């Protein structure tokens, strides 16, 4: 029998596992001995003084009722197979919108990190961060993403690197830290340019997220320049999904510039590209965007918008995810308002708000504005006041951004339409502050929305 010399911790780790497993089985060293393996040799292996050959490991594993892989690496093949299956289930749950279920599975898989190996461990950590992000737990997601980004094993330009960089850019944008979001996105694109790699879908997605951060920061020109570059790249090398994502964001930029017909044409192009894809959530969200463009357009097709919102709602109800489902329900409430079905609009808005379960975001504010307007139009004045005051308080909890400025403007317009001049002025003032203007000094004794007693 040939002997191999110990190789550092490998031999000692194998010996430790061998001894622990033997004792767990209630066996003596001589119980592992064979004609080819002496008791003293078993003792040397357990002491880390010999590194067994593959044939010896196989014989020892058979006597212990274990696997060679477990003795060699500490990873049990059966357990590893089960963890792979659970990881795949978690990733599927994440794609289908079951974020909490996915997070629980990722967390459980990560309790067995010593069994996973580097590749599966990285997948599980990225999945965990993504689930946390989708649950709006951005600080926890960012902590994990930064740890992954700092790992030397995550090579710039790789798929994992691109996925983490995009997620960091997106998470900082969702928290309102547009400066950090832009810094991460620009640094990522510079690294890709320096590497001179072929453009892939991952690279295009990084550019798309950076364009979104420019847009939220109010830098429409840079957003447009970047999206023009991405359109060229995507048409040359991108998949249908990547091209669809670029047209999607081009539509958002066009609307921000007041070019609504162009925005509608671009979102229709995105829908055509992504209709045959394998991401029903993206397709449903595009339909919500399309419906929103229609109801904000002069003479918009309300029948078409309602149909789009209903299609999206049907898909999103199966996929889960409060934000997207609430967006489609809020769209239906807005359609009811525009049709003059005010009681239906209030009921639909209340249902939409119930989906968010006390969450505060730009969508809950939009839905509150729809509900408050409908309540005023049904002469439920006190309820309308309370609803708009709630919208105002929620707005003050959100980060400064282009869309919060617009929501302040919309809130002010609703107050103004119903004769509440002081409240309208306060909303407009806060909107200017959200856009970057210095706050207007308020003289002592002035009323606030919360203290209003008369019109």
pLDDT tens sequence across 81-117: 788 899 999 998 888 778 889 999 999 999 987 777 7
What's the rounded Cα separation, in Å, for the pair 125 and 163? 12
Q: Which CATH architecture has domain 9-74?
A: Orthogonal Bundle (1.10)
| Confidence class for position 452, pLDDT limits 50, 70, 90 | very low
At residue 442, φ and ψ (nearest 5 deg) are -105, 120
Query: Which comes out higher in pLDDT, residue 104 or 442?
Result: 104
What stretch(es) of the chain map to CATH 1.10.260.40? 9-74
Within 65-177, where are the H helices?
68-73, 77-95, 99-110, 113-116, 118-134, 138-149, 159-174
What's the rounded Cα separation, in Å, for the pair 225 and 248? 15
Q: What one-character DSSP code corresponds to residue 51?
A: B
The C-alpha R_g of the chain, in whole angstroms, comes to 29
Rounded mean pLDDT, 15-30? 88
Please tell me the predicted confidence (pLDDT) of residue 443.
Answer: 54
Q: Are 287 and 299 in contact (CB under 8 A)?
A: no
pLDDT tens sequence across 195-254: 887 778 888 889 999 999 998 888 889 999 999 999 888 888 878 888 899 999 999 999
| Confidence class for position 126, pLDDT limits 50, 70, 90 | very high
If phi > 0 it is left, if psi is from -120 to 50 it is alpha, else beta; for residue 380 that is beta
Please tell me the predicted confidence (pLDDT) of residue 429.
Answer: 92
What's the rounded Cα separation, in Å, for the pair 306 and 195? 47
pLDDT tens sequence across 298-351: 888 999 999 999 999 998 887 656 778 899 999 999 999 999 999 999 999 999
Q: What angle do CA 108, 163, 283 make, to 5 degrees?
A: 95
Which of 1-5, 163-167, 358-362, 435-439 is the least confident region?
1-5
Please tell me the predicted confidence (pLDDT) of residue 453.
Answer: 38
> What 3-state class would DSSP assign to 151?
coil
């Amino acid at each position: 029998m040939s002997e191999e010399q110990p190789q550092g911790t490998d031999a000692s780790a194998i010996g430790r596992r061998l001894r622990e497993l033997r004792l767990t089985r209630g066996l003596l060293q001589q119980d592992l001995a064979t004609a080819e393996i002496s008791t003293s040799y078993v003792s040397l292996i357990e002491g880390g003084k010999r590194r067994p050959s593959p044939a010896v490991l196989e014989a020892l594993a058979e006597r212990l009722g274990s696997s060679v892989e477990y003795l060699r690496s500490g990873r049990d093949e059966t357990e590893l197979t089960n963890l792979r299956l659970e990881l795949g289930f978690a990733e599927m749950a994440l794609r289908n919108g079951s974020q909490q279920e996915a997070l629980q599975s990722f967390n459980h898989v990560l309790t067995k990190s010593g069994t996973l190996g580097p590749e599966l461990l990285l997948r599980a950590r990225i999945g965990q961060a993504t689930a946390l992000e989708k649950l709006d737990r951005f600080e926890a997601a960012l902590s994990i993403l930064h740890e992954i980004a700092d790992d030397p094993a995550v090579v710039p330009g790789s798929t994992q690197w691109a996925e983490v960089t995009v997620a960091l850019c997106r998470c900082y944008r969702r928290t309102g830290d547009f400066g950090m979001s832009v810094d991460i996105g620009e640094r990522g694109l510079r690294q890709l340019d320096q590497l001179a790699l072929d453009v892939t879908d991952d690279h295009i997605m990084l550019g798309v997220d950076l364009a979104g951060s420019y847009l939220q920061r109010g830098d429409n020109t840079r957003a447009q320049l970047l999206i023009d570059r991405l359109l060229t790249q995507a048409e040359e090398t991108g998949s249908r999904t990547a091209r669809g994502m670029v047209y999607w964001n081009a539509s958002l930029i066009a609307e921000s510039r007041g070019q609504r017909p162009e925005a509608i044409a671009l979102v229709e192009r995105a829908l055509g590209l992504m209709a045959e894809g394998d991401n029903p959530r993206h397709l449903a969200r595009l339909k919500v965007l399309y419906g929103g463009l229609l109801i904000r357009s002069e003479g918009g097709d309300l029948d078409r918008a309602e149909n789009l919102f209903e299609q999206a709602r049907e898909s999103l109800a199966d996929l889960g995810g409060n934000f997207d489902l609430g967006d489609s329900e809020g769209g239906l409430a807005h359609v009811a308002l525009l049709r003059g079905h005010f009681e239906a609009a209030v009921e639909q808005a209340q249902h939409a708000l119930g989906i968010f379960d006390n969450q505060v975001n730009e969508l809950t504010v939009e839905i509150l504005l729809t509900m408050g307007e409908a309540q005023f139009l049904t002469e439920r004045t006190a309820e309308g006041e309370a609803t708009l005051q709630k919208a105002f308080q929620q707005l003050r909890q959100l980060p400064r951004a282009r869309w919060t400025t617009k929501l302040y403007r919309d809130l002010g317009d609703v107050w103004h339409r119903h004769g509440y001049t002081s409240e309208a002025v306060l909303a407009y003032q806060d909107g200017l502050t959200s856009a970057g203007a210095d706050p207007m000094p308020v003289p002592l004794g002035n009323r606030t929305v919360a203290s209003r007693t008369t019109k």
